Amino acid sequence: MRSFMACACLVGSFHSNGAINVYLQVFNANCLGDNGAVLATAINGVAPYTYMWNTGATDPDIYGLAPGIYSVTVTDNVGTVATADVEVSSIGAPASGSQLASDIFFEGLEPCVGACNGGFRMWLPNVSGGYSVSTTPSLTINELVGFGQNELDVYITYEVLGACVGQSIDVNVTNACGGGSTTITIPAEIQEPTVNISTNTGSCTGADDGYISGMVELPMFYIQGWSMEALDDQGATVDPEPSNSFNQTTEPFTLSGLHPGDWVMRFTSGEAYGSMQARCIVDIPFTIADLGSDCAALSGTVHFETDEDCVQDGLEVGMPNQLLRVTPGPLYGITASDGTYSIALPYGSYDLEQLNTDAVQLCPGTIPIPITVSSGINVVVDLADSLLTPLDIRAYLYGGTMRVGYPFRYSVRATNTTGRPGENVTITLDHDPLFPLISASSGANTSVPGQVTWSIPVLGPFQTRLLSVDLQVPADPGLLGTVHSATANVTSTSPEPNTANNAYTITRTVVSSYDPNDKQGISNVSGSSTQFFLDQDQWVDYVVRFQNTGTDTAFTVVIRDELEADLDIESLEILGASHPYTPSFGDARELVFTFSDILLPDSTTDLIGSQGFVAFRLKPRTGLLPGDALENTAAIFFDFNEPVITEPSVLVAELNTGLQTRERGGLVLSPVPTCEVLGVTCPTGMTSLRIIGADGREVTRSQERGTRFELNVSALEPGTYILVAALANGSEARERFIKQ
C-alpha cells in the first residue's frame, strides 16, 4: 500500500529464541555526513537486558552511523536471546512532483459530506534532523506515532487535516538537505452507508418489543469501516445484531427491543489509530409504530423449501410479497423482500393462512395454523412452501411523464415469482424511435432504433431485475397531445407454462405540465383510466407516482393507500417499484409502502432521479354493479413533512350495452360511443393514427407504434368520426366511432 522514496532502501529482519521482542527505530543519515541512528527497545523478556551491536557498542541506542547494515543481539536476565538487523540509508532532499505525491495517501481521511475535515497522510523515511512540512492554504498538520511496520519503525507519518473535497493544496517538505513540493487535490467525500429495511415490527404501548431488520450497504469499501447504534429521542441506545461494526459492501443487521416512537440509526465512521480527524456521523431515521396497549406481534418468515426438512437453509430464499390472512378479523400481512412478515394482533386466538393459491404449505402441517397471542407473548410462525408452478417470469413497464423538451424514463421490471431459476433471460423494451436515447442500464444493446435489449444468464428464484432507459422528448410543440406506446417483454430458454404475463404495454401522452404526485388506475383489458368494463376487464393496475419537489434530499418516502371497499384486498399483486421498499398493512384496509433511506434528490438537482413510483394490481369485489365507482387516493409522506394527497383515481363500472366495441380488419375501438377516452387495439401493430371528422378534415394525428393505445378525445366536438390506423404490415384500417 505504501510507496517509498527511491533513495530510501529500508530493510530489516528479526530472530528470537524465546519471547523477547526487539523494536528498532531507524533514523537515516542525511547529506551532512555519517549521522544516522538506530534505537533498540526490548520487551517481553526478563529485565535487565544486555545489548551487543555489530559495531561493538553495548548501549540500546547507537548514533553517528554511516549508511550500512546494523545488527543487535539482545539477551535477557535468564539467557533468552533475540537478534535484529536493519539497514541505515542515506536520505537526500525530499522529492518533488509525482514522486512526492506517491508518498501521499487519501484513504481513510475523506471529508464528511458537506464538511471540510478531510485531508491526507504522508509517509516519509525517518532522517536525522527531521522534516518541516507546510501547506498552502494553511492546514492542521499532526505528526502521528505508532505507524511502524511490525517491529521496525522507519517512517515518520504526517496527517494533514482541514481540507474540502475538490480543494487543491500545495505541499512543501524540507529537511537539512533541501526541499521538495507537489500539488494534490482532495479527490472525494466519504461515501455514506445506506440502509434497506426489510421488516419493521411495531411495539405495544409501554413495551420494548419493536423490531427491524435489513441490510446495510456501503457504496464502496471504506478502509476503517462504520459502527452503528439505534438512538431514540431521549438518547437511549440499542446495539444491532450480529455486530455493530460494518466493513463489507453489504451486511445484514437486526435491531430488537425497541419501544414505540422515533429513532435514528446512527452510523459513526471509524478512524485509524492515532488519527485526529473528526468522525463522520450519519443519522438514518425510522419509526416504531405504537400498536396499542393490548396487543402482541405475530411474525416469521415464508421461505421456498427445497429439501423438505422445513428449515430455511443458506440457499433457500425468502418469498417476497406473499399475502397472509388472520381470522377472525380479517387482518392481513405481507412478506418483505426477504420473506419476513409481521402482523400486530389484539390479544386472542386466531387462524393464520396463506392466500397464494400456487403455494403448497409444507410446514407447519396444519392449515390454517392456530395461534394465540396474550400479554407479553409475541408469536413466531415460520412457513416452508413449495410451488405448483415450476417457473413464471413476469414483465412490468412504467413510463415517466413525457413533457415537450424534457427527458423521461422507462423502468422495466422482470420478476421471477417462483423458486426455480430462469436461464438465458432476454429483456426487451420497444419504444417510439421518435425519442432519442440518452442512456440505459448497463449491459444494454441499443443497436436497433426504438429497441433496447438486455441478456441475463440467470434470473434467480424470486429475483427482480429493474432496468431503466432514459429518453428525450424533442422540443417540438407539435408533439403536445400525441400518444406514444412502449412494450416490455421478457423471455427465457427455461420451460415456462404461463407466458401471458411476459409482456406489458403502456401508453403515454405528451403534455406541457403535470402533477408530479398522483395515483392512476388503468383497467387491464380496455386500457381505460376512467371506466372498468364488467364483461371485459379483470384487474385494475394502479401506479402511485411521487417526486421530490422540495429543496433537499428526501431520506424516507411512505405511501399510505386506503383501499376502496369495492376492491378485493386478497387479490393484491405488487407489480414493482422504482426503489427498494417494505410493504405492510396499516389500520383496516390501509396498504403501506415504506421507502427507507431512499435518498431521493430534489427535482432541481436531478429531474429524473427525483421521481419514483410503486405499482400494484387488484380485482374488484364480486358483485360490482354498473355505475359503481372505484375511487381511491393515496397519501405520500416525504420525511416528516405533511402528506401530499393525490387527486382521486376514479373508474366507473360499466357494461358494453350501448357502449359497443367496434372492430374491422383487426382494429378494435372501445368504448363506442365514448366521452373522453377511446381505446384502440390492433394485434397487427400500428405505426400512426389519424382522426377524421364528418366534414372530411383531419382533426388530430399521432405517431404510434404498438398494439394498444389510449386516445384522449375529450376535446373533440360531439359527433361521428373515423379513426384511420396505419398498420405495421403496410396496410391501413379504418373504423367509425361516436364522440358524445
> What domains sit in the chain, N to C, each tagged with a CATH number?
1-184 (no CATH), 194-288 (2.60.40.10), 295-387 (2.60.40.10), 393-653 (2.60.40.10), 660-739 (2.60.40.3080)
Q: Does residue 19 surpass a pLDDT of 60?
A: yes
What is the pLDDT at residue 665?
Answer: 55
pLDDT(2) > 60: no
* Backbone region of residue 642 per phi and psi (left: phi > 0; alpha: psi in -120 to 50; beta: other values): beta
Query: Residue 29 has what pLDDT?
Result: 94
For the chain, the average pLDDT equals 87
Q: Is the pLDDT of residue 109 over 70?
A: yes
Decide if 384 contacts 307 (C-beta within 8 A): no
Provide the H-helix boundaries in 511-565: none
Average pLDDT over residues 470-482: 89
Provide the strand spans (E) within 605-666: 611-620, 629-632, 635-638, 644-645, 649-654, 660-664
Per-residue pLDDT band for 516 (boundaries 50, 70, 90) equals confident
70 vs 68: CA distance, rounded Å: 7
Q: Strands 295-304 and 379-380, how do they pair?
A: parallel
- Range of 94-98, 313-317, 376-380 with top mean pLDDT: 94-98
- Give strand pairing partners of 255: 212
Q: How far is residue 363's CA from residue 352's CA, in Å, rounded to a whole number?
A: 13
The yes-or-no verdict on residue 659 having pLDDT over 50 is no
pLDDT recorded at residue 422: 95
How crowded is residue 203: how many other Cβ atoms within 10 Å of its Cβ? 24
| 361: CB partners within 8 A, 6+ apart | 354, 367, 383, 384, 385
What is the CA angle 352-356-361, rounded to 5?
60
**Sequential DSSP letters for 451-504:** EEEEEEEEE-TT-EEEEEEEEE--S-GGGTT-EEEEEEEEE-SS--S--TTSEE
Mean pLDDT value across residues 651-677: 70
* pLDDT score recorded for residue 369: 96
Q: With contact defined as beta carbons under 8 Å apart, do 510 and 402 qualify?
A: yes
pLDDT at position 417 over 50? yes
Mean pLDDT of 351-355: 96
The pLDDT, as a whole number, for residue 646 is 93
Helix/strand/coil percentages in the chain, nearest 5 = 0, 55, 45
Which tens digits make up the pLDDT trace of 705-716? 777 888 888 888
- Least Cα distance to 613 among 548, 698, 537, 697 occurs for 548
What pLDDT sits at residue 214? 87
Answer yes or no: are the C-beta atoms of 638 and 630 closer than 8 Å. Answer: no
Q: Would residue 658 be called left, alpha or beta, if left means φ above 0 and alpha means ψ between -120 and 50 degrees?
A: left
In the chain the first and final C-alpha atoms are separated, in Å, by 77
What amino acid is encoded at 521 in this protein? Answer: G
The answer to whether the beta carbons of residues 391 and 494 sit under 8 Å apart is yes
Read off φ and ψ for residue 98, nearest 5 degrees.
-65, -30
Residue appearing with cell numbers 368504448: 671
Is the full-model pTM beyond 0.95? no
529-546 burial: b if 16+ Cβ within 10 Å, else e: bbbbbbebbebbbbbbbb
CA–CA dist 105, 692 (Å, integer): 71
- pLDDT digits over 543-573, tens only? 999 999 988 899 899 999 999 989 999 999 9
> Which residue in the block uniquely carries the three cell numbers 426487451?
428
